[in-house]
Structure 1
Amino acid sequence: MDGEATRARILETAGQLFAERGYADTTSKAICERAQCNMAAVNYHFGSRDGLYLSLLKEVHKHLISLDYLARLAHSAQPPRQKLEAFLDGLTASLLNSEGWHIRLWAREVLAPSPHLAGIIEAEALPKFGLISAIIGEITGIPPGDPALTRCVLSVMAPCMMLLVIHRDMNSPIQAIFEQPAEVLASHLKTYALAGLDAIVAARAAPVRSKRAR
């Protein structure tokens, strides 16, 4: 139990420091001083400073929406529209209700990438992208591999991606978004996303109907 407490303390401390200073400017010494541990403890639990940073990036993804949860949702028997609504509900709640370092760390990573960004995208983001694509493919009938499906996923995810990188304390028009209840924003995102997907489905069906009419 002492070991788990030490590991958790190192994670929390390092998360705060990396979120404050970024990957390049956060030293092992600073982490150990604030976490009240030595480098041997960091190496024991994470292998190295880089191993610790990778663990933090994985924690960020788990904090936002875990791969296990998304896989269960995508493979569930729910109607596809309900799957997408549940996904947006969960992600929006994580984005707006997060008080910790997770969102700030990810914003720093995206805006000033470390050498680990490509690896974490491959390990965490791409599998999630595939699951979200499958859900949206169910809604639209667009097959996997069709560029139109990728465009749909990007259109649905773009507002959430913006909220991931915008600084919530910065004086900007978007700041008001963080002051409203998560369910209000989620309702808007669901309405907007589903209406857009319905429009895409209708537009793709229109040429087919036109050919049949001729």
Structure 2
Amino acid sequence: MTDPFALFDEWYAQARDTEINDSNAMALATADARGRPSVRMVLLKGHGPDGFVFYTNFEGRKAGDLLENPHAALLFHWKSLRRQIRVEGAVGPVDDATADVYFATRSRDSQLGAWASDQSRPLPDRQTFMDRFEAASARFEGGPVPRPPHWSGFRLTPERIEYWQDREHRLHERRLFERVGDSWIEGLLYP
């Protein structure tokens, strides 16, 4: 049996070598408390046996969905490799220390943008956002930009991981790993 995280590391390393832009891009599917789905692209910012981490404004729709219904699915699709990985599991916020460490690695403009944006809310015009960005820039001029209290990350703890490899004539290979307690069982799925 193969370790699903070692296999992820192998495929992800190959994607970083072959994908032109954003090899860490993944589709994040959520559903609100009433079960209405939504999907969007986010960037993977950490991964390992404890899960897959991404960051966002906690006042936006995706965070609202995840706080109401803490289950989600991820999809990595690397077209140049003809591969995809699907991950499903429970989601929870990362701790403040983890969020602070990551936020400090972001570019200053990205940090300021986190202060300026009311993510997913209506914006009357682009200039309003740019004015808010300039106000945040002036507010933190000459010093570090702290992480906003409404900005943090989520960790998806996988319960299922499927590795899909394209094959000729749609005879694809699908390997499924499912968590059972602290272990993983591996099987195959028909294409």
TM-based fold match above 0.5: no
Using structure 2 for the length normalisation, give the TM-score.
0.28
Considering only CA atoms, is the larger Rg found in Structure 1 or Structure 2? Answer: 1
Higher strand share: 2
Using structure 1 for the length normalisation, give the TM-score.
0.26
